[in-house]
Amino acid sequence: MNWLHAVVLGIVEGITEFLPVSSTGHLNIVEKLMGYKIDDKGMTAFTAVIQIGAILAAIVYFWRDIVRIVTAWFKGLVRHEAREDPDYTLGWGIILGSVPVAVVGLLLKDFIEVTARSLWVIAAALVLWSAVMWWADQHSGGPPGAAHASLGKGMSQVGIRDALVIGSFQALSPVLPGISRSGATISAGLLRGFDRVTATRLSFFMGIPALVAAGLLEAVTAAGDIASGPGWASTSVATVVSGVVAYATIAWLLRFVSSNKFTGFLVYRVALGMVIVGLVLGGLDPA
């Protein structure tokens, strides 16, 4: 892979990883248009590894929150009174909520790396999941159609059941990449009654363990495939670029959801799904 392609793919990953539009779907489409085989083991590993850059950006952006949550969790392990801290419960929620996607990722690894990469699957998931997101957005905190982002439960009200539901939704994303990990987790958060900003922040927190683990696993187990395919130099460039772009995207998204609904994203998802269908019908190989 040449470095120009690596930079472009890093930008695509950085922009789309945390937006509810499917980063894997976008990467697969762009990789396909560049002439790469999206079901190739090297490209599959490349796609997973460069996500680490975006996740590192989230860790840096939310560093104070992460330190606070981790500190509260450790305190709760040794002091009973510290377990009253909502951050202690949130810490357990993030841990337990990460289990479903880990189990699904390991059990269905072959399916995820081959069958789920089809552009037909991505197009269908983009369009169909948009209906779920629309329903969740319309019925999130407050009356149907309310646009104010603060209507609903806040971060201090996150319970273990909430985290498990969000984590279970997150587990759908690797199986059907067009769903979007952030789209799945944000939808679940809204359906659990959280306000839009909280649902979005939860999506970030829930994604950190899952995506770091997935990226590191691919970096270790598919190191040879990356070396003989895209190459580690290009993979490193794409990872760095994705991190820089993702940091800016996180800041923008949190400002956006504080005063806007997700309608624009839903229109884009459906339009993109239709474009993919058109490209495939026009002769682009969907595999």
pLDDT tens digits, one per residue of 123-135:
888 999 999 999 8
Is position 151 within any domain? Answer: yes
What is the predicted pLDDT for the residue at 32?
Answer: 86
Question: Which tokens in the block code for residue 2?
Answer: 């040449």
Q: Find out whether 166 and 100 touch, Cβ atoms under 8 Å.
A: no
Threshold 0.75, pTM exceeds: yes
Q: Find out whether 207 and 186 touch, Cβ atoms under 8 Å.
A: no
What is the predicted pLDDT for the residue at 245?
Answer: 97
Q: Find out whether 152 and 194 touch, Cβ atoms under 8 Å.
A: yes
Rounded-to-integer distance, Cα 167 and Cα 210, Å: 10
Determine if residue 22 is left, alpha or beta; phi over 0 gives left, psi from -120 to 50 gives alpha, anything else beta: left
Question: Which tokens in the block code for residue 146?
Answer: 């309310």
Mean pLDDT, rounded, for 160-175: 88
Q: Find out whether 79 and 188 touch, Cβ atoms under 8 Å.
A: no
Is position 198 within any domain? Answer: yes
State yes or no: pLDDT of 147 exceeds 60: no
Closest CA to 101 of 159, 164, 191, 149: 164
Interhelix angle 119-138/181-191, rounded to 10 degrees, is 20
Mean pLDDT, rounded, for 20-26: 85
State yes or no: pLDDT of 48 exceeds 50: yes
Is position 226 within any domain? Answer: yes
Q: Find out whether 13 and 238 touch, Cβ atoms under 8 Å.
A: yes
Mean pLDDT, rounded, for 183-212: 89
Q: What are 182-192's pLDDT values in tens digits? A: 889 999 999 88
Mean pLDDT, rounded, for 161-171: 90
Total tally of structural domains belonging to the chain: 1
Mean pLDDT, rounded, for 29-45: 85
Interhelix angle 23-33/41-49, rounded to 10 degrees, is 130
Is position 286 within any domain? Answer: no
Mean pLDDT, rounded, for 210-219: 81
Is position 287 within any domain? Answer: no
Is position 255 within any domain? Answer: yes
HSE of 37, CA atoms in CB hemisphere, 13 A? 8
- Rounded to the nearest 5°, which phi and psi values hold at 194? -85, 150
What is the predicted pLDDT for the residue at 144?
Answer: 40
Closest CA to 193 of 251, 156, 153, 136: 153
Residues 6+ apart with CB under 8 A from 83: 76, 89
Question: Which residue range is the domain that position 167 belongs to?
Answer: 3-281
Q: What are 251-260's pLDDT values in tens digits? A: 999 999 888 8
